[in-house]
Chain A
Amino acid sequence: MHGERIRVRGLVQGVGFRPTVWRLARECGLIGDVCNDGEGVLIRARPAADIDPAAIERLCERLRTECPPLARIDAIERQPLTEPIPHSDFRIRDSQITQARTAIVADAATCPDCVREIGDPKDRRHRYAFTNCTHCGPRLSIVRGIPYDRSRTSMSVFPMCPACRAEYGDPANRRFHAQPNACPDCGPRLWLVDTQGREIDTGATGDLDAIAAASRLLHEGRILAIKGIGGFHLACDATNAEAVAELRRRKRRYAKPFALMARDLEVIERYCTVDTEAARILTTAAAPVLLLNGIEPDPGSERALADAIAPGQTSLGFMLPYSPLHHLLLEDWDRPLVMTSGNLSEEPQCIDNQDAVARLSPLADFALLHDRAILNRVDDSVVRVMAGAPRMIRRARGYAPSPIGLPPGFETAPAVLALGGELKSTFCLLRQGEAILSQHLGDLEDARTAREYERTLDLYLDLFQHRAQILAVDRHPNYRSTLIGRDRATRWQIPMVDVQHHHAHLASTLADNAWPLHGPPILGIILDGLGYGDDGTFWGGEFLIGDYRDARRAGHLKPVAMPGGTQAILEPWRNLFAQLECAGGLDAMRRRHPDLTTLDALAAQPLGVLRTMLERGINAPLSSSAGRLFDAVAAALGICGERILYEGQAAIELESLAARCLADTESGYPFQTSEGPTGIQLDAASMWPALFQDLSQGVEIARISARFHRGFAAAVVELALEIARRHQIATIALSGGVFQNRVLLESVSKDLSDAGIQVLLQRQVPSNDGGLALGQACIAAARAIRP
């Protein structure tokens, strides 16, 4: 009887796929073997003598329905088997790795079986904080090289005990080839230290163990540093206003919201609306921080969150426990914990014990440490449901480095390395139909982050055996990623492509939506902070017509100066001043509204110097940025006009306000368009008189913000439809950091859809600069592939 050769493609390595094949094949009565190779998993199978010939069909069916939780099958290809099978049972063969492709997967939240074990007093892993199996546990965060096995992870220093070794070697066991497999007898341990790094004897304190002691300290209102999967958290009781305020003060993070962790969905539901989609996202193996709509708390409730958790915002970021340590720590918590990254504001978080004690001791009262080294920093991912689907805000733990399948046409792509942006840096390795996007690495102006970026880059190049033939960078000459690219391109003697920032955003959206390489040009509305434009000015409110290869400007926001350059990004009032100077002047506006205190406050700024800067073009670069327009509006409403405390704060708070009375706000402020030399210009000048009119009549600022959002969205849609009509385009992509504004994203995408347009939104990768690298890589690849 003849057998078949079954090729399974997708995310099938390092996720317990072979033992699943082994178990199912035996259950289906098949003879043969299964192994990993460079293309995925290869199965050779034939039915045992007395078994019906449809057994192979059944195996393939069951593989799809009983696919292990972390695996993803992209394709099952079947061919007749030409050679005989040299044995009479079904076996797992050693890996035939010629070229590693998909062997490193993302870190995964503790699976239900492991959760049950740590809660079971009779289980040998009862209360063991490093319990994991093939379906869960750390991966990217502990790997140092390939092939992925224990000796090339930070588990290499923990030789398995006989019991663990037996599990590891047994295909029928959930821990078959689970590289980080461990138990209390042989695995990592936890301990609690004070600020001096001295271990505290938790037995002597009357606690069950270090986790119980840590939980008790948190109940007492202390701040703890907690070593987790991909980094350290700083934790405190989220309902303890004093502790939260103290944490803000110590961390010097004065306004940016804190992420929260709750024991289960029930706890979260007390603070936020959790629909079925939200519940699904929270409980996935990626276990991201999900931004949820907060609900008004019962006044005086003792479980109310501290006000300082998310100042000026209506949403809260929640996640569920994703490691055994978290499950054990939160066991007796019916309220959330703050779980914010273990760092000073704007620095990368700590991953090393010694470093943590040194850097975190001014921040935390105690630290819960363990001896499983974190080799790669992987921050918590952040997701938000917008326009009906989960959308990535920050892509890191649980998602990276899972490959992103590329659209048709990219199968023959050369190896491209794209280095991303500056502030929300990621990089991307692309080849033959797939792209590996790194986890969020952060602000490259920070020296520690910049070093870590290069180190992580080298690790990925090794893990994925990637040898770039083309480098892609942003066109901004001073981005550190651009400098790194220039350096590497010279060293490797390969060509470097510099990609316009907003074209990269556009291409990222195309790839995210499986838009074919040779698909027709579309219109991209890229509403962004700032990116280096083709003409050397700064762009950020762009209507681009293009495809993967090229894009050109069809329209844009009217450029307005940013007096003081970077300083204008930090101080929204500068943008308000510049906007008003383009809309009849601040002085005229003050004459019309002598009663307005925001205008008085603006007039009290040192405007003489700023006027000269505008007139003479001294460090006052022109920019068509949408982000700066939002800043200006925020400043007009008295929202963080003086200075923002974190990136995007003004726009985020403005959105929160708008959301409150969007439903009953019909009319928006007027915008105007005019034909310009570089496309149709969208001009905000006409909006300001209406806005200040409302303000002086005492209209509440939430209403004004809603009218601004309505007006801006309507103007964007109108201009987009006009451009689409002129160029006979039926598809429009929305991207750029400003589209993380839900109010804006949902109204623009709905209005475009209602007008019969196919709308493409980002989903797997962020629409902010965290998604740039994917776009850059696709552009460089597309230009290299012959049409």
Chain B
Amino acid sequence: MSHGSGGRATAQLIAEVFQAALDNDLLAQGNDQALFSPPPGRLVMSTDGHVISPLFFPGGDIGCLSVHGTINDVAMAGARPLYLSAGFIIEEGFPLDDLVRIVQSMGEAAQSAGVPIVTGDTKVVERGKGDGVFITTTGIGVVPDGIQISGDLARPGDAILVSGSIGDHGVAILSKRENLGFATEIHSDTAALHDLVAAMVGSVPEIHCLRDPTRGGLATTLNELAFQSGVGMQIRETCIPIKSEVSAACELLGLDPLYVANEGKLIAICPADHAERLLATMRAHPLGSESAIIGAVVEDDLHFVQMETGFGGSRIVDWLAGEQLPRIC
């Protein structure tokens, strides 16, 4: 890959690699923009830059991750995602084979999600000024009428649900990057959750909050929601689904799985009397088969997220600014 200035080389590259992998009508028009009519309803839009090492990991790669990430951010408004755009920053000298793999993975992810990538941009930067490849995706979606989902709507008494086991993605990335060689290979959970969300809002339109616990993990996301809504949260350690291999890896590494990133899970908060129905809907979906009710929203001026531990204690699950630093003297 050579560093160009929008010349013939880049045009050729776009034609060959991107058109082939991301094939759809809007992209095929070859314009610098995608033209479409908005469907009725409220639109949502979200954008996310993807920077990850390693680019390929068990369960996925930066390509499908960049599609899933933005679809999920759009879907967490209760929306049906419509279109994506993608911006690439590629480091000079990046192997073409890898680029092809990544873009194909994006194409497949978009295809199977039914959310086409309809416009995009590619820049090549000098060697040393990038880290392989960075991908920024933007998504647009439409929210069905009657759905009102927002991070500030959690109310005391609401139930807190999670759609499956936590910590898989972060541990998969770390163990691949650092070549930790755990006995069991741990796979990223990266997945597009909009179909699950569609089922959820279809069955329980009263859902108050949805959020995907990506960077910072379950703990950080719950703290964000508690702060935004001005409430506290009470969760139960024994109810939080976690794979035994993830739990073992975290213990060995000394990491708290509550702070480890996920890419295919969501947190839902809904009125308690709808919780069982929502849980049943989630469990009926392949991406939510291990869903669980993990706790409840409570009144709390201090906005604590507190967890009843397996031993009956009540630990504050803090909002961590930086790393997990030991605190015991």
Contacts and interface: CB of A to CB of B under 8 A. Distances in A.
Interface of A: 252, 344-347, 421-424, 444-448, 450-451, 454, 476-480, 483, 501, 528-532, 538, 540, 562-569, 606, 608-610, 612-613, 616, 618-619, 621, 627, 647, 737, 768-769
Given A609-B181, A609-B252, A565 B315 contact: no
Contacts of A529: 328-329
Nearest to A501: B329
B128 interface: no
B311 A562 contact: no
Interface of B: 174, 178-182, 251-255, 302, 304, 306, 311-316, 318, 320-322, 324-329
A785 B223 CA distance: 40
13 contacts: A344-B313, A423-B328, A445-B315, A447-B314, A530-B329, A562-B326, A566-B254, A609-B182, A610-B252, A616-B178, A619-B254, A621-B325, A737-B329
B308 to A, nearest CB: 9
Contacts of B316: 444-447, 450, 480
A491 to B, nearest CB: 13
A377 to B, nearest CB: 15
Contact of A530 (B180, B253, B328): B328
A566 B313 contact: no
B254 A567 contact: yes
A606 B251 CA distance: 11
Contacts of B313: 344-347, 446
Given A346-B313, A446-B313, A477-B321, A618 B327 contact: no
A166 B151 CA distance: 62
Contact of B179 (A423, A447, A501, A612): A612
A688 B275 CA distance: 58
A606 B248 CA distance: 11
Given A446-B313, A450-B316, 20 more contacts: A252-B311, A344-B313, A422-B328, A423-B327, A423-B328, A446-B315, A450-B302, A476-B327, A478-B327, A564-B253, A567-B252, A568-B326, A569-B326, A606-B252, A608-B181, A612-B178, A613-B253, A618-B253, A619-B254, A769-B329
Determine the main DSSP class of B at the interface with A. Answer: loop
Contacts of A610: 252
A251 to B, nearest CB: 10
A477 B329 contact: no
A330 to B, nearest CB: 30
Contact of A477 (B179, B314, B322): B322
A538 B178 CA distance: 24
Closest 7 CB pairs of A and B: A564-B254, A567-B254, A447-B306, A529-B329, A447-B314, A566-B326, A565-B254
Contact of A450 (B180, B304, B311): B304
A609 B325 CA distance: 20
Given A609-B180, A609-B182, A252 B252 contact: no
A737 B316 CA distance: 24
Given A478-B320, A563-B254, A609-B181, A447 B304 contact: yes
A342 to B, nearest CB: 14
A709 B320 CA distance: 38
Contacts of B315: 445-447
B253 A423 contact: no
Contacts of B302: 450-451, 454
B329 A612 contact: no
B325 A477 contact: yes
B260 to A, nearest CB: 12
A621 B252 contact: no
Nearest to B174: A618
Contacts of B254: 563-568, 619
A337 B322 CA distance: 47
B222 to A, nearest CB: 14
Given A454-B302, A529-B329, A344 B312 contact: yes
A478 B321 contact: yes
Given A454-B302, A568-B254, A619-B253, A422 B311 contact: no
A528 B325 contact: no
A448 B318 contact: no
A403 to B, nearest CB: 25
Nearest to A627: B329
A340 to B, nearest CB: 16
Contacts of B304: 447, 450
A609 B326 contact: no
A618 B178 contact: yes
A453 to B, nearest CB: 11
Contact of A621 (B174, B180, B253, B326): B326
Contacts of B328: 422-423, 529-530, 566, 569, 647
Given A478-B318, A608-B181, A612-B178, A445 B327 contact: yes
Given A564-B253, A568-B254, A609-B181, A530 B326 contact: yes
A476 B320 CA distance: 12
Given A480-B318, A608-B181, A619-B255, A566 B327 contact: yes
Given A563-B254, A609-B253, A612-B179, A446 B314 contact: yes
Contacts of A616: 178
B309 to A, nearest CB: 9
A565 B329 contact: no
Contacts of A422: 327-329
A316 B103 CA distance: 69
B324 A565 contact: yes
A532 B311 contact: no
A295 to B, nearest CB: 33
B325 A478 contact: yes
Contacts of B312: 252, 344, 347
A425 B114 CA distance: 55
A769 B328 CA distance: 10
B176 to A, nearest CB: 12
A569 to B, nearest CB: 5
Contact of A531 (B181, B182, B329): B329
A760 B1 CA distance: 69
